[in-house]
A and B are shown apart, each in its own frame.
Chain A
Amino acid sequence: MHIIVCIKQVPDTEELPRVRVNPEDNTIVREGIKSIINPFDENAIEEAIRIKEKNSAVVTVISMGPPQAKDALRKALAMGADKAILISDPVFAGSDTLATSFTLSEAIRKIGNFDLILLGKQAIDGDTAQVGPGLAEWLGIPQVTYVRRLEIKDKLIKVERVLEDCFEIVEVKLPAVVTVTKEINEPRYPSLKGLLRARKAEIPVWGNDYLGLPLDKVGLDGSPTRVTKVFVPEPPPKGKIIEGDLNQKVEKLIEEIKKRDLLKWLR
């Protein structure tokens, strides 16, 4: 069995508030924001390794991104993935989800045989959740999104999908694309042995001279969407602390709820 995991390097959430830097403040940021593996992608890696431990499988991890995304791939290797490939080329810059999923699908075709492709449910920078279904479409295979439990049954997988108020149990024929949620597992820490192995591992970089993709289907030119503006939203007005003894606090809160007409039966 061959499992391919697609991972993305994203800015660490803990540092997200730094995106709120004042443009007037012209102190130079010394270094870029700290990067991590997209949290859901760690779950995807973990799930692949667990399948490998149970059923014997080969796990290949791929990422499309700038050269520093190698760090993310190295961590995946340290966790226990067998192979890692970085897909990186200046012509891939500016890709939206259509171009990203196309490029990933072509890299996967190049890798060849696979049974299962795992992704995170969404990347925490763009929050789109579109690359998984897009990839499945380019490859012409089925997809199951938001999966919290996965069981391999020969050429079939049985999964639990998270819906708004319940879980759906679904069986899908392999090969398929599956996107996973946080609760599917608890990602492991790399072992010392894993770290050593990963440090020495060779991570091939596939550029477009190797993939040979048409330039109008990759990068900015291959992206139907255009970001025309980014802006920082107004911060919410600072709130107030309700003071008083217990009873007064309760009364005051109810008063505010009434005043703002938040409850239909309390007017």
Chain B
Amino acid sequence: MAKIRVIEEKCTGCGRCVSVCSFSQIKIENDKAQIMQGCTFCGACVDVCPFDAIEIEKEERKVDLSGYRGVWIFAEQRDGEIMPVTYELIGAGRYLADDLSEELSVVILGDKLENKLQILQRYPVDKVYLVDHPLLGNYRTNFYTKVLFDLVKKYQPEILLIGATSLGRDLAPRVASRLKTGLTADCTSLKVDKEKRNLIQIRPAFGGNIMASIITPYHRPQMATVRPKVMRKISPRGRSNCEVIKVDPDLSGEDNLVNIIGKVREETGVQDLQEAEIIVSGGRGLGKPENFSLIKKLAELLGGAVGASRAVVDAGWIPSYHQVGQTGKTVQPKLYIACGISGAIQHQVGMRNSEVIVAINKDPDAPIFNIATYGIVEDLHKFLPVLIEKLENLSSGKNKG
């Protein structure tokens, strides 16, 4: 039942709580605040109320969680290659493990991965759990879930972090539900409360309009998926005293429910938007699909990935995995160059946390200029060729020099 209460004697009906409720679950009736069913007990109203008129009852459950120890990170591999997000997780995990004075372990599932061990051993991890099996070469939800679940049950980590990739966001909720533990999606910041040993998980919600801080107080492990490119990658340290634990998975009871028939690759050499440090995006202002070649050329020159607005994805100018925004990808590169994109709110929520935003648009009133670090009011068909040419000159100069 709801454990939030308005103390009517104290409430003046000022409405401050109404305006801070991100979920629109407070209304003023007869000059008193009234809290509706959709309340998530986030406490924003309690903090803002100048009259201490709202109370959330904090239950204290007694549960023994001391059997759970150590920080685990899930190392994602595709086609036998360890994904970059793994090294970001090792970085974040090391920090948390040190804070808790616990071990950091890496779990990796795959087929014929022995040769990857030496790579992992160069990183500051204490243990590697290696699960090598022919059924684990390609990611399949049920096999991976079974293996990860069994491992967690046996070794009982306190924290388990998984990259918020398409794989991670498929796997993590399945594992968390089987463990009946909490899972916080797509975190952008993590720290620990050393005293209570709670993982404080910070993540954007409402398209980044608000941030939420989330804990999992009475369940272990505490699970989170972590947005790629946000945590700093750790560099190898060349120490190799980590222990390797080879695990034989029990997949006997598992059917192959999902059959991977193949992959469709509409283009080659596509850079993953969420991993890219530089993104050049094109919108309807390009005029026609062929003009994406300008975007691609600039992206290539900068060593970046190609992004797009929904308008051009819908128009079929470019495949959908390039789409940035609310219904596309949320990206956070160092440099985002928006060309011929108006900057609708749905586009903004996907890219506004980029470190530097450059916008090229001929309309000085385009909303993209509200969030651009550098705004350039210009026709992109004139601007981009000159930019490309100058950069080409600079880069060839560098190569010769």
Residues of A within 8 A of B (CB): 11, 13-14, 16-17, 19-23, 25-29, 32-33, 39-40, 65-67, 88, 90-91, 93-94, 96-98, 101, 124-134, 136-138, 142-146, 148, 158, 160-173, 176, 181-183, 215, 219-220, 223-233, 236-242, 246-247, 249-251, 253-254, 256-257, 260, 262-266
Contact = CB atoms under 8 A, between A and B. Distances in A.
Interface in B17-63: 18-20, 22-24, 27-28, 36-44, 47-48
A226 B215 contact: yes
Contacts of B80: none
Interface in B353-401: 353, 356-358, 364, 369-378, 382-383, 386-387, 390-391, 394-395, 398
Contact of B38 (A65, A182, A257): A65
A225 B214 contact: yes
B182 A96 contact: yes
Contacts of A67: 37
B208 A233 contact: yes
A239 B257 CA distance: 52
B77 interface: no
B350 to A, nearest CB: 11
A75 B209 CA distance: 27
A162 B44 contact: no
Interface residues of B, number: 120
Interface stretch (B111-119, B150-158, B237-245, B270-278): B270-278
A39 B16 CA distance: 30
A218 to B, nearest CB: 10
Interface in B259-312: 259-266, 270-275, 278, 302-303, 310
Nearest to A123: B205
A224 B24 contact: no
A229 B166 contact: no
B205 A93 contact: no
Nearest to A183: B320
A181 B320 contact: yes
Given A168-B263, A263-B302, A127 B374 contact: no
B159 interface: no
B234 interface: no
Contacts of B186: 127-128
B141 A142 contact: yes
25 contacts: A13-B207, A17-B345, A23-B20, A66-B38, A90-B2, A94-B2, A98-B180, A125-B23, A125-B205, A129-B173, A142-B141, A168-B264, A183-B320, A215-B1, A220-B3, A220-B41, A225-B215, A230-B43, A231-B213, A242-B375, A247-B386, A250-B386, A256-B374, A262-B334, A263-B303
A230 B19 contact: no
Interface stretch (B67-75, B94-102, B127-135, B216-224): B216-224
Contacts, number: 328
B390 A251 contact: yes
Most buried by A among B178, B183, B218, B353: B183
Contact of A26 (B19, B302, B377): B19
Contacts of A21: 19-20
Given A145-B170, A164-B166, A181-B327, A94 B39 contact: yes
Contacts of B181: 98, 224
B90 interface: no
A125 B206 CA distance: 4
Given A242-B374, A249-B378, A32 B261 contact: no
B42 A227 contact: yes
